[in-house]
Amino acid sequence: MPFTIAIDGPAASGKGTIARALAHHFGFAHLDTGLLYRAVGAKGGDPVAAARSLTPDDLARDDLRSARAGQAASRVAAIPEVRAALVEFQRRFARSEPGAVLDGRDIGTVICPDAELKLYVTANDEIRARRRAKELGADEAQMLRELRERDARDVARAVAPMRPAPDAVLLDTSEMSIDDAVTRAITCAKEAGA
């Protein structure tokens, strides 16, 4: 039976780094579900049509990690029809053998509520802004404003708001090194039976 790890949390909290490390450590498949929404936003046009017609080439675009694509992703992710078009894809992926790690905003609460392990990865706003500014070569104050705007949108949306699942393990990476965060996540996964 496949083992599913659901990782949620805000942008620049470290969830993607942790997800990739867990997938590598356990030999599981990995899906950054935010890429799906970034690709829909980047395609432009009607978001619902874009979600229904996503291809692997759309997920390989070079511009999907930009701040602009992140903002577009947050806007289209608030559209219920877009979310519905992408839910089944994510649920099928989550049952990959021998296991899968999915990271996003609603994996433990909506996409995989029965995941064997749910992590909610977070960090304080200033640290997340510093991380994202360094990653993108952007202004830290501007990143802080954009992250807070995006968080507010993601938490307040009517469909699948960003929040920890009731049974999620909270992992605050504010004062943790990458290695410490990954080690803690691997320990959690082993304790859950991975």
Distances (CA, A) of 149 to 49, 57, 153: 26, 29, 6
Give the HSE-up count for residue 16: Cα atoms under 13 Å, Cβ half-sphere: 11
- Rounded CA-CA distance 110/49 in Å is 22
Q: Is 166 exposed, middle or buried (0-12, 13-18, 19+ CB in 10 A)?
A: exposed
44 is in an annotated binding site: no
16 is in an annotated binding site: yes
34 is in an annotated binding site: no
17 is in an annotated binding site: yes
13 is in an annotated binding site: yes
DSSP state of 4: E
- Rounded CA-CA distance 82/88 in Å is 11
Find the helix or strand (DSSP H, E) in which 104 lies: strand 99-104
Give the HSE-up count for residue 49: Cα atoms under 13 Å, Cβ half-sphere: 4
108 is in an annotated binding site: no
The encoded tokens of residue 4 equal 């599913």
CB atoms within 10 A of CB 61: 15
11 is in an annotated binding site: yes
Which residues participate in the annotated binding site?
9-17
Cite the annotated binding site for ATP by residue number.
9-17
